[in-house]
């Protein structure tokens, strides 16, 4: 079945550094990928929609200069948390909709747990 690979699974970094998270669709082309953020015991919050070859669409309240999204190919989207601070510590999850005919499944990466010290 379709698989989305997300890397790294866990990051611990110092305040002020930048962290890049990769999301790959392994056996399908994803023109659109979604980036979510989840705090403990809460639902997923959509941060942005990543579109291949064009700028990402950010949800209200999400700083586009803080969370840089690049979707350079049909199988890869990256999220870079720039100048990370402790309040950016969270669980980040990417997702892609396979878009195959007859299939309406959104596949999720395993998530990246970011801890900023």
Burial of 57 (0-12, 13-18, 19+ CB in 10 A): middle
Query: Residue 105 CB, nearest distance to another protein (Å)?
Result: 5
Q: Which is nearer to another protein, 14 or 101 (CB)?
A: 101
The full DSSP string for 27-90 is: SS--SEEEEEEE-TTS--EEEEEEETTSPPEEPTT--TTTEEEEEEETTEEEEEETT--GGG-E
Instruction: Give the range of 12-20, 36-44, 65-73, 80-88 binding another protein by CB under 8 A.
Output: 36-44
- Report if residue 54 touches another protein, rule: CB under 8 A: no
Instruction: Give the range of 18-26, 62-70, 80-88, 89-97 binding another protein by CB under 8 A.
Output: 89-97
Q: Say whether 23 sits in a helix, a strand or coil.
A: strand
Query: Residue 112 CB, nearest distance to another protein (Å)?
Result: 10
Which one of 69, 81, 93, 114 is in contact with another protein (CB under 8 A)?
93
Nearest to 18 by CA among 87, 70, 67: 67
Instruction: Give the range of 23-31, 69-77, 81-89, 90-98 binding another protein by CB under 8 A.
Output: 90-98
- Report if residue 109 touches another protein, rule: CB under 8 A: yes
């Amino acid at each position: 079945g379709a698989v989305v690979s997300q890397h790294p699974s866990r990051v611990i970094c110092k305040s002020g550094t930048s962290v890049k998270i990769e999301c790959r669709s392994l056996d399908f082309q994803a023109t659109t990928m979604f980036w979510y953020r989840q705090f403990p015991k809460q639902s997923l919050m959509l941060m942005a929609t990543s579109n291949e070859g064009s700028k990402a669409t950010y949800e209200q309240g999400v700083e586009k200069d803080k969370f840089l999204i690049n979707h350079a190919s049909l199988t890869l989207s990256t999220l870079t948390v720039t100048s990370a601070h402790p309040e950016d510590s969270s669980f980040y999850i990417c997702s892609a909709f396979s878009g195959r005919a007859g299939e309406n499944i959104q596949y999720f990466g395993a998530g990246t747990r970011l801890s900023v010290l």
